[in-house]
Amino acid sequence: MAVPKRKTSPSRKGMRQQRHARAVAGAYMENPDTGTLTLRHHASREADGSMWFKGKMIKKAKVKAEPTAEAPAAE
User: What are the tens digits of pLDDT across the range 16-59?
Assistant: 888 776 666 567 878 777 787 888 788 888 778 888 887 788 88
Q: Is the pLDDT of residue 71 over 70?
A: no
Are residues 39 and 28 in contact, defined by beta-carbon separation less than 8 angstroms? yes
Q: 8 in a domain, yes or no?
A: no
Q: 66 in a domain, yes or no?
A: no
For residues 46 and 27, give the distance between their C-alpha atoms in angstroms, rounded to a whole number: 19
Given this model, what pLDDT does residue 44 score? 82
pTM: predicted TM-score of the whole model, two decimal places:
0.43
Given this model, what pLDDT does residue 10 score? 95
Given this model, what pLDDT does residue 24 score? 63
Given this model, what pLDDT does residue 55 score? 77
Total number of domains in the chain: 1
Are residues 62 and 51 in contact, defined by beta-carbon separation less than 8 angstroms? no
Residue range of the domain that includes 27: 23-59
Q: 33 in a domain, yes or no?
A: yes
Q: 4 in a domain, yes or no?
A: no
32: left (phi over 0), alpha (psi -120 to 50) or beta: alpha
Q: 64 in a domain, yes or no?
A: no
